[in-house]
């Protein structure tokens, strides 16, 4: 049996919207992350990726559904148990500058979780070791965040995140704000930490090339729901949901392709999550939409003969495959 | 003049700060009408300053020397009045964050109409109609209704379209786009790139980016910048398929490709870009370069080669050599 460290079932999170009822930021999401592996969560901005990440880390309460981490139901725990569990789950966010206390030195930032959780032992030695682990020059320990480059700041954020040896780390667009060459360094670091420490990642990103490089499995999210999920290789080689294909077609490649015709289906932007009507939420942008799509909402279902799930009426059809 | 006239010709552009720190260190670049040139490089290499200098929009404390001639008009060293005229009629600019250039409390249609008031003698109502037409022309659906909305009521992609319509309102000869899609989703990015490609047919488009994937989508020619200098230029296909400068090659290798996953670690460039004001003897890429020799202690000049490109390197990758 596969050992799933993180299991989310039927997660729902609504936010109130001024004068217009509520918005289903997360609208019935199931996810499973196998221990020591990376699940990537991809989709356009506003589709609910960060909210999902916060629900998994118990930084927010879901309106429905549950999250189990290492067998413990996260949102059912009492305060003390939750605090203990939190040690094992850490976030790394996009903008390390926002996430780091500007008035603390690097040394104090990395030491803080050790102190807060009374990790004990020789804290300064542990901090030095952590900085070495993320390949940060020890001379930077006395610097403040504004004195560091973006890549160095993200290394500090990662050092702090792994200080308590977490089992599960949610990386929310951790390299989106960095230069490509620095992105590659940080991604290599995240992978090395996974190899050495068996960390399980939820890797939130809109960069499909990075996702392909990092993740064993990929979940594609659209307007609060998962629309396709499966092993990375399979999903990239043969995407079954038209939205996955749209994202893949739009991803830039560092080589000259035929520019005409431009990726056909990129017309339209994601509508607000407020306006989910009947039928498939992707239908207004979908080049394959039929009458059925506009009346019947396709459930996420396993595709026979694959390890994949997709929420599309035509996920198996050659018509979909040829688009 | 002995050389053929080029529509935009930048010569030995240098931008310094009072402290003596020179951030742009002799940029030469030219472009023909209708051409899209991508200026690419890591943060801090001087891309934005180069662009701002062409429009006379340098930050306080910065000063430019050298020359940039756009269809007979010198852009560098002009007084504010001349610059304002140039910005209005000849050159437009689109920035990464449209919110920084839009007025948050004025409907977007009225903001476009204001720009038209500067460039044209249209009546008020004609300007308003034209503003809606311009919004339609950059692919904003339901433009008449959108024109009455405030910037924050539009999506990031729509705001960038509004900025593009403003930049194009004066029918400029030069359009500068500084990382215009960096903050957008890939899907919206693809749309904005397609729009710029289509609408920049008659202008020089100087497109600034750090993303080689975006370069591949938009550029006719590429100019790679490193530490305030252009280190390689050439036709986009030549540069991306067979980069000659070790920095260009390394930069390209570090970009993952969704169709071609690499096993193991992603290639990286060792070391870091030089810090502001840091002096490096000889070639600025030398401390990070695997091909460096003693010869590189003398700075190489940008030298034309037979591909229509130029490279500033003593030991460039051969044209036949697969730079991988
Ligand atoms: N705290 C909040 N209050 C109200 N709305 C929110 C809040 N957090 C997120 N949202 C809304 O929920 C939706 C999903 O947001 P988010 O999870 O941040 O998406 P993503 O990370 O995919 O960009 C968006 O429409 C966003 O505006
Ligand atoms: N306002 C400023 N004051 C001092 N130095 C500056 C200023 N703006 C830019 N610089 C210097 O110029 C260099 C190039 O900046 P910029 O053109 O913005 O780079 P890019 O757009 O390639 O990221 C920076 O590394 C910085 O050292
Ligand atoms: S169900 Fe229909 S509209 Fe939805 S993604 Fe599939 S083909 Fe497109
Ligand atoms: S001149 Fe020398 S150091 Fe500079 S890029 Fe070429 S080989 Fe490397
Ligand atoms: Mg997010
Ligand atoms: Mg810049």
Q: Which residues of A touch B261 (CB under 8 A)?
A: 212-213, 236
Q: Using a 6 Å cutoff on CB, does residue A15 contact ligand 1?
A: yes
Domain ranges of chain B: 8-258+266-311
Task: Of B134, B12, B126, give the one whose Cα is nearest residue B68.
Answer: B12
Which residue on chain A is closest to B191 by alpha carbon?
A266
A89-92 β-sheet, strand order: A89-92, A168-172, A200-205, A38-42, A217-222, A225-231, A309-310, A301-302
Confidence of residue B73 (pLDDT cuts 50, 70, 90): very high
B229-235 β-sheet, strand order: B91-94, B174-178, B204-209, B36-40, B221-226, B229-235, B310-311, B303-304
Q: Using a 6 Å cutoff on CB, does residue A49 contact ligand 1?
A: yes
Which residue from B271, B300, B321 has its CB within 8 A of the most atoms of ligand 4, so it is best to mutate?
B300
Q: Which residues of B touch A250 (CB under 8 A)?
A: 186-187, 189-190
Q: What is the arithmetic mean of pLDDT over B224-247?
A: 96
Instruction: Report which ligand 1 atom has the smallest distance to the Cα of A272.
Output: 25
From the list B210, B258, B272, which residue is nearest A208 (CB)? B258
Task: Of B259, B41, B188, give the one whose Cα is nearest residue A211.
Answer: B259
How far is the centre of ligand 2, averaged over its atoms, from the C-alpha of B8 (Å)?
Answer: 23
Q: Using a 6 Å cutoff on CB, does residue B229 contact ligand 2?
A: no
How confident is the model at residue A320, as a pLDDT? 45
B118 interfacial to chain A (CB closer than 8 Å): no
How confident is the model at residue A265, as a pLDDT? 45
All residue ranges of chain A with pLDDT < 70 are 258-267, 272-275, 318-323
Annotate B277-294 with DSSP letters as a single string: T---SSSTTGGG-TT--G
How confident is the model at residue A318, as a pLDDT? 55
- Can you tell me whether residue A111 is helix, strand or coil? helix
Q: Using a 6 Å cutoff on CB, does residue A8 contact ligand 3?
A: no
Chain-chain contact of A269 with B187 (C-beta, under 8 angstroms): yes
Q: Say if CB A120 and CB A132 are below 8 A apart.
A: no
How confident is the model at residue B234, as a pLDDT? 97
How confident is the model at residue B324, as a pLDDT? 46
How confident is the model at residue B100, as a pLDDT? 86
Cβ-in-10-Å burial (0-12, 13-18, 19+) of A79 comes to exposed
Q: What residues of chain A, 191 to 250, have a C-beta less than 8 Å from chain B? A: 191, 206-210, 212-213, 236, 246-250
Give the Cα separation of B167 and B88 in Å (integer).
9
Confidence of residue B99 (pLDDT cuts 50, 70, 90): confident
Which residue on chain A is closest to B45 by alpha carbon?
A179
Taking the CA of A277 as reference, the closest ligand is 3
Task: Of B253, B220, B230, B240, give the one whose Cα is nearest residue B311.
Answer: B230
What's the CATH superfamily of A4-310? P-loop containing nucleotide triphosphate hydrolases (3.40.50.300)
Q: Using a 6 Å cutoff on CB, does residue B238 contact ligand 4?
A: no
- Can you tell me whether residue A165 is helix, strand or coil? coil
**pTM of the full structure:** 0.92
A17 interfacial to chain B (CB closer than 8 Å): no
Q: Say if CB A308 and CB A300 are below 8 A apart.
A: no
Q: Say if CB B163 and CB B93 are below 8 A apart.
A: no
How confident is the model at residue B71, as a pLDDT? 93
B10 pLDDT higher than 90: yes
Chain-chain contact of B255 with A209 (C-beta, under 8 angstroms): yes
Q: What top-level class would CATH report for the domain B8-258+266-311?
A: alpha beta
Give the Cα separation of B239 and B307 in Å (integer).
10
Q: What is the arithmetic mean of pLDDT over B32-50?
A: 95
Q: Which residue has the higher pLDDT, A24 or B3?
A: A24
How far is the centre of ligand 1, averaged over its atoms, from the C-alpha of A46 (Å)?
Answer: 6
Q: Which residue has the higher pLDDT, B4 or A124?
A: A124
ipTM of this complex > 0.90? no
- Alpha-carbon gap: B303 to the closest alpha carbon of chain A (Å): 24
Confidence of residue B273 (pLDDT cuts 50, 70, 90): confident
How confident is the model at residue A322, as a pLDDT? 43
């Amino acid at each position: 049996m596969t050992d799933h460290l993180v299991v989310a079932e039927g997660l729902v999170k609504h936010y109130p919207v001024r004068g217009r009822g509520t918005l289903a930021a997360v609208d019935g999401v199931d996810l499973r992350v196998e221990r020591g592996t990376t699940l990537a969560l991809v989709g356009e901005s506003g589709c609910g990726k960060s909210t999902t990440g916060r629900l998994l880390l118990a930084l927010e309460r879901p309106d429905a559904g549950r999250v189990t981490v290492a067998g413990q139901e996260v949102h059912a725990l009492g305060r003390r148990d939750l605090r203990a569990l939190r040690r094992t789950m850490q976030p790394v966010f996009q903008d390390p500058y926002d996430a780091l206390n500007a008035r603390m030195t690097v040394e104090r930032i990395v030491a803080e979780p050790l102190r807060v959780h009374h990790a004990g032992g020789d804290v300064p030695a542990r901090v030095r070791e952590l900085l070495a682990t993320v390949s940060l020059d020890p001379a930077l320990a006395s610097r403040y965040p504004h004195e560091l480059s973006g890549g160095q700041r993200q290394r500090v954020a990662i050092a702090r995140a792994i200080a308590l040896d977490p089992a599960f780390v949610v990386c929310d667009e951790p390299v989106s704000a960095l230069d490509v060459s620095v992105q590659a360094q940080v991604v290599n670091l995240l992978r090395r930490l996974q190899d050495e420490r068996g960390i399980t990642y939820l890797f939130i990103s809109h960069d499909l090339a990075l996702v392909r490089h990092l993740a064993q499995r990929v979940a594609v999210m659209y307007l609060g729901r998962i629309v396709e999920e499966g092993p990375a290789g399979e999903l990239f080689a043969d995407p079954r949901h038209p939205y996955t294909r749209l994202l893949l077609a739009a991803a830039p490649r560092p080589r000259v392709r035929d520019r005409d015709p431009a990726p056909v289906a990129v017309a339209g932007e994601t509508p607000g999550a407020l306006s989910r009507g009947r039928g498939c939420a992707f239908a207004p942008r979908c080049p394959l939409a039929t009458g059925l799509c506009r009346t019947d909402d396709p459930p996420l279902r396993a595709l026979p003969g694959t390890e994949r799930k997709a929420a599309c009426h035509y996920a198996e059809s050659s018509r979909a495959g040829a688009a | 003049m002995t050389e053929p006239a080029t529509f935009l010709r930048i010569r030995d552009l240098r931008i310094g700060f009072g402290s003596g720190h020179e951030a742009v260190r002799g940029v030469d670049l030219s472009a023909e009408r209708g051409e899209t040139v991508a200026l690419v490089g890591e943060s801090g290499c001087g891309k934005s300053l180069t662009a701002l200098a062409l429009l006379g929009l340098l930050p306080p404390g910065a000063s430019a020397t050298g020359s940039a001639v756009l269809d007979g008009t010198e852009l560098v060293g002009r007084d504010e009045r001349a610059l304002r005229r140039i910005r209005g009629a000849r050159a437009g600019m689109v920035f990464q964050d449209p919110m920084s250039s839009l007025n948050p409390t004025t409907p977007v249609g009225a903001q476009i109409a204001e720009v038209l008031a500067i460039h044209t003698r249209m009546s008020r109502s004609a300007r308003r109609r034209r503003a809606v037409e311009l919004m339609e022309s950059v692919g904003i659906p339901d433009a008449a209704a959108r024109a009455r909305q405030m910037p924050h009521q539009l999506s990031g992609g729509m705001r960038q379209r509004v900025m593009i319509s403003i930049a194009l309102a004066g029918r400029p000869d030069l359009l500068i786009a500084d990382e215009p899609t960096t903050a957008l989703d890939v899907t919206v990015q693809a749309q904005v790139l397609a729009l710029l490609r289509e609408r920049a047919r008659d202008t020089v488009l100087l497109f600034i980016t750090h993303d080689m994937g975006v370069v591949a989508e938009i550029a006719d020619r590429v100019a790679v910048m490193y530490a305030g200098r252009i280190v390689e230029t050439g036709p986009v296909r030549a540069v991306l398929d067979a980069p000659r400068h070790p920095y260009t090659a390394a930069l390209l290798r570090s970009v993952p490709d969704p169709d071609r996953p690499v096993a193991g670690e992603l290639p990286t460039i060792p070391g870091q870009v030089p810090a502001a004001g840091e002096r490096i003897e000889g070639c600025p890429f030398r401390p990070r370069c695997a091909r460096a020799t003693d010869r590189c202690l003398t700075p190489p000049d940008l030298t034309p080669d037979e591909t229509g490109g130029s490279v500033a390197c003593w030991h460039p990758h051969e044209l036949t050599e697969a730079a991988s």
